[in-house]
Structure formats: structure tokens, C-alpha cells
A and B are shown apart, each in its own frame.
Chain A
Amino acid sequence: MGPARSSGVGSGNSGAYTTEIAESLRFEEEIHSIVHPSLDSSPAAGGSFTALLGLPANQAVELLHETGPSEAPSSAAAPSPTGELWRLRLGEHAAGPLHLPLGCSPTFPSNAALVERAARFSVFAAEDSPELSSGGGPSPRLKAEPPDSDSPPPLPIPTEKTQRPAKRKECEKSKAKGPAKKSKSAEENTVAAPKETAAENTDGEKLPYVHVRARRGQATDSHSLAERARREKINARMKLLQELVPGCSKITGTALVLDEIINHVQSLQRQVEFLSMRLAAVNPRIDFGGLDGFLLAECGPLATANGRGGVALDPALWSSHPVTANGARWLPQPQIRHVDVWPTQQSSTAWTRDGAAHPHALLNPGASLFGYDPASSVSLNSNQLKTEL
């Protein structure tokens, strides 16, 4: 992002709003497409980059006069098409010596301060791309501050930077709403502009801060901005959940979606309970050694989602496994594992049948016995033992 790019920023403060809007549209689009490549090049929020450049009101006016058709960064009422306006209240540089012909003219780099700003802007651009719509990470911006503290217009930049993340979020959000609100916000801006300019001029010595023109009908203080950001985050997470929970995409309204989510979670937890009951009932009977294949079978249908292999194994393994492999594998496992447990189980009275004790011992060495379905298991176990012995 070169200096030339960053120069053509902000909407002009000329008399005709249409030209301003057109100019701002043109340049904002450029800049936003660079800084936020994933966002659409919708008519961008006007003054966000004027704030970046940090040019004072009078300088902006000068620049405007110098560069006819090209953009001039505005600090006074710059009606952004989206209704959001970034403005700087500058105390210090009322006497700023910036006389730059702005726009994409090659004379831009001649001004050291603007070059600096452009460099900073490119820093921001580079750092913005990873966090496009988040607007978080004030630290990169804060880090960029110290080097700039020596530059001629130092003060407005730091404050503006700290507030920028939140404001940039607003900027991006309002960009999306831009076209619809263009005309309305233009009128809004014109009304409020003179007031702001006057305020700016009078507070010559105060520390500058950034005015943010909020969307139409919304408050502008930092609290509501933060709240809006928080709400956006929550809405994004809700969308994720909606995709996760089946049947939630059609539902509109946070409360109902939450209802669905709660029902889904409860049903899943209930299913886990039922399945654990089943598993508990089945547990004592089965030797777990022969079940390694069930994972492969289970992964088959899952793998289709990934397009991974393992599907080929699925039907063959699943059908054959319980029949042959399990039966085959049951034999070696008991032999290997529970020679030690065997004597303890033999002593218990409940386990008169050796076969019955054996697989159970695998699961609960030394644990108490519990009831299970003796019919199928015992016959099986006794058969096993016959072959073992």
C-alpha cells in the first residue's frame, strides 16, 4: 500500500455533496478493497481514512482548494455515504503546515508527515487484513503509535488509533448498510456538520478525540459501540450454533433458536445416558479385545463426509467382525490377560461356572459381581473355556 493510495482518502468538503459522495465512493472503494480484500467494494464509510491521515480542518480545506477534482481529506463535515463520519478534533495542528495537493498525485510523498501517515496506514492495512471485520487487536495500532509520536501531528493519531478498532468495526458495519442510508445520512451530516466544526474550532487547545457518526437512529457513545460489537459477536456465534443444530436455520428469533439449541443439547445428553445404560448392561458379557474393528466400521460412514478412505473396509469388517473375528479373538485375549484374575474369581461362590467368571474378570478384576444375562454369555464362555482348556 503505497503513499499514493493513502493519499486519496476521505471525502471532500466541497459544497456539492454529490461530488463529494462520488469522490468518496471512488476512493473509499479503492482503499477498502485494499485494506479489506474480502469485503465488497460497497460505498465505504467516508471519513474513516481521513481520521487515519489525521489532517486538521483547515488543512483539509486548503487541500481541497488545491486539488480540484481529486480527493481531499476532510475533517469537517465529510458526509460519508454510509452516514458514518470520522473526524478529528485537532488542537495542535491548527497551524499545521500541510499544504499538499492530495489525490493520487506524485507530489504527495513530498510531505514527510503525510508519508509517515501513509506508512502508518499501510501498517494498519497489513495488520487489518488478518482481522477484517473484527476490529480487535488494538495492540498493533498502539505499537505503531510511539514512532509517530515525534511527527508533527502526533496527538490526534494516538487517540484516534485507540478508538479506531471500535470505530473501524462500525465503519465496516455501516458500509454494509451504505447504499440505503446514503441520502439520509447526507442530510444528517449536513445538519450536524456546522455544529461540529464550530466545536472543533473553539476547542483549540483541548486534546483531540474522534467523533463517530453512528448509523441513523443509533447512539454514538463508546458504550453503545462496544455493545454493538458485542452483539455482533453474539450473533455470529448464534449463526454457528444454528448451523450445528438441525432445523434451526429456519427459525428466526434468538429466543426460539436458543430453545432449539437447549432441546438439542438435552436430547443429546439423554441419548448419552441411555447408551451408557445399554453399554453397562452389555459390558460384563463382552470381551473388549475383539472390538477394535468396530471403530473402523464406525469411521466408514463418517469418512464419507471427509471423502477419506476406510469406507471400503466398512461393510466387510462390520459384517464379518462380530461373526468370525470376535469369536476368534475372544479366545486368545482371555488367556493372555487374566491368568492372574482367574484364581480370585474362582473362589467367589457366585461364579461356580468358570466360563462365566472369565470375561467378567477381564472387566472388573477384583470388583464385585453384578447381574447380567447369563444365558447367552455363559454358554459362550463355557464353549470358549472348553476350547482353551
Chain B
Amino acid sequence: MIPSPASSSSGSRKRRMKRGQKAQPATKWRTAAQERVYGRRLLEALRTTAALGPRAVKEAADSALALTARGRSRWSRAILLRTGRKIRRGRRRARAAEAAGGRVRGRLRVLRRLVPGCRNLSAGSLLEEAADYVAALEMQVKAMRALADALSAAPEAAAASEPGSRGGV
């Protein structure tokens, strides 16, 4: 969906009106279908990843997650664009104080830093993105854990049952 640059309330409501109600992030990311889609993308990404090491794996996983989001959310677009920019630019800026500006404001600032691509968002849109991001992250963790378990369990099991599998082949 193409977002209007100023995600004003009336604008977003108009969009929702035209398309019907937007699905809630919790239900959207928890379907088995989404998990399958992401799992496949994750596998693909891991298979074809050139660089090695945990950081590359994480980036591949994040990109796969962002792809699965189909670019509908701001954070997913920011992640997909991240690969071009963040590689060259390092993290120069030091972490600012989090409690400045009042409790809620300070925490909102921290949240802005945590959710990718939400630096200049208003509070309302930020919370919306954060909800989607949290749901997506949960799914990502679930999928990656399953994959890691499968991968680490498989060779041991296969090695243990070598003769059996040989026979089966």
C-alpha cells in the first residue's frame, strides 16, 4: 500500500475505509501461512547468503522478515533500505539520555530508536508501527528458533541413525 507521507488520522482512516479495516498486527503475523512464507524466505536467504557470521545471518533474517511484510509497514521498508545505507555508515552517534523530556516522551524516544524507520513519526503512528513490529519480531523469533533447532538436531539425529537412513535410502 502506498502510504501518504503525512499519515494524518483522516488520511489513514480514509485509506482504511476504502480498503476495509486493516487487519490487526497480532492476527496478521500469527497465521500459519505467514510463518510458512517467512520460513521459506528465511531458508532461501540463509542458503544464498554470501557473508558468514551471526551479523549477516541476522541481517538476512531481518530482510526476509521485511520482505514478508510486503512493504506495508514503515519499519519493513526501512529494513529493506538498510542494506544499502547502514553498511557504509557506522553507528557514530552516542546514545542520548533516555529520561530526558518527561517519562512518556523519553520512552517514546527510546521506542523510536528501537523500531527501524520510525525516527520522525508521530506518537500515534509510532505505536502502530511498534505493534506491527512486535508481532513480526515474535514470529521471527519463533521461526528462527525452529530452524535452529531443526538444523542442530538434524545432523545429530542423522549421524546417530546413519545405518538406518542408509537402509532407508
Complex CA distance for A244 and B50, rounded to whole angstroms: 35
Q: Which of A33-41, A182-190, A377-385 contacts B (4 or more CB under 8 A)?
A: A377-385
Give the interface of B toward A (CB within 8 A). 9-10, 13-14, 17, 24-26, 30-32, 35-36, 39-40, 43, 46-47, 49-58, 61-62, 103-104, 107-108, 110-111, 114-115, 123-124, 127-128, 130-131, 133-135, 137-138, 140-148, 150-159, 161-162, 164-166, 168-169
Are A276 and B54 in contact, CB atoms less than 8 angstroms apart? yes
**A290 interface residue (CB < 8 Å to B):** yes
Q: Would you call B148 and A278 a contact (CB within 8 A)? A: yes
Q: Are the CB atoms of A380 and B13 closer together than 8 Å?
A: no
With contacts A243-B26, A265-B137, A367-B52 taken as known, whether A282 is within 8 angstroms of B151 at the C-beta atoms is: yes
Interface bracket on A: 35 or more
Distance A277 CA – B17 CA, assembled complex (angstroms): 43
Per-residue CB proximity of A186-220 to B under 8 Å, as 1/0? 00000000000000000000000000000000000
Q: Are A294 and B169 in contact (CB under 8 A)?
A: no
Whether A272 contacts B14 in the complex (CB less than 8 A), given A245-B134, A326-B157, comes out as: no
Contacts of B107 in A (CB 8 A): 255, 258-259, 262
Q: Which of B13, B57, B104, B137 contacts A134 (CB 8 A)?
A: B13
- CB-based closest 9 A-B pairs: A327-B165, A237-B127, A276-B58, A294-B150, A255-B103, A136-B10, A136-B13, A258-B107, A277-B54
A269 lies within 8 A of chain B by Cβ: yes
Looking at the complex, which of A5-13, A171-179, A301-309 is the stretch in contact with chain B? A301-309
In the complex the two chains form, what is the Cα distance from A61 to B142 in whole Å?
Answer: 67
**A275-B61, A298-B39 known, 12 other contacts, Cβ within 8 Å:** A136-B9, A139-B14, A262-B107, A272-B141, A280-B52, A280-B54, A283-B151, A286-B151, A294-B39, A327-B165, A379-B159, A380-B155
A153 to B58, CA, bound (A): 65
- Least Cβ–Cβ distance between B127 and chain A, in angstroms: 4
In whole angstroms, what is the CA distance A286 to B123 when docked? 44
Query: B152: which A residues are within 8 A, CB to CB?
Result: 278, 282
Contact A137 B13 (CB under 8 A): yes
Q: Are B155 and A276 in contact (CB under 8 A)?
A: no
In the complex the two chains form, is A275's CB within 8 Å of B130's CB? no
Are A377 and B155 closer than 8 Å at their CB atoms?
yes
Determine the chain A residues whose CB is within 8 A of the CB of B10 once the complex forms. Answer: 136-138, 165
Interchain Cβ contacts under 8 Å between A and B, 12 examples: A241-B134, A268-B137, A271-B141, A272-B141, A273-B58, A276-B57, A276-B61, A279-B61, A295-B35, A321-B154, A327-B161, A327-B166
Q: A137-B10, A275-B141, A283-B52 are in contact. Are A264 and B134 (CB under 8 A)?
A: yes
* B contact patch SS: helix
| A291 at interface by CB-CB < 8 Å | yes
Q: Are B128 and A288 in contact (CB under 8 A)?
A: no
Chain A nearest CB, measured from B166 CB (Å) = 7
A268 to B26, CA, bound (A): 15
Stretch at the interface among A17-25, A110-118, A226-234: A226-234
**CB of A266 within 8 Å of the partner chain:** yes
How far apart are the CA atoms of A254 and B134 in the complex, in Å? 18
Q: Is the CB of A298 within 8 A of B146?
A: yes
Q: Which residue of B lies closest to A254 (CB)?
A: B104
- Closest partner residue, chain B, to A318 (CB atom): B150
Q: Which residues of B contact A302 (CB under 8 A)?
A: 30-32, 35, 142
A310 touches B137 (CB 8 A): no
Question: How many angstroms between the C-alpha atoms of A322 and B146 in the bound complex?
Answer: 13
In the assembled complex, the Cα of A324 lies from the Cα of B161 at a distance in Å of 8
**Mask of A127-168 contacts with B, CB within 8 angstroms, 1/0:** 000110010111100000000000000000000000001000
**How far does the Cβ of B87 sit from chain A's closest Cβ, in whole Å?**
17
Q: Are A244 and B131 in contact (CB under 8 A)?
A: yes
A285 within 8 A of B: yes
Contact A233 B148 (CB under 8 A): no
B151 with A299: CB separation less than 8 A: no
Nearest A residue to B57 via CB reads A276
Is B52 a contact of A134 with CB atoms below 8 Å? no
Would you call B47 and A363 a contact (CB within 8 A)?
A: yes
User: Are B50 and A364 neighbours in the complex by a CB distance under 8 Å?
Assistant: yes
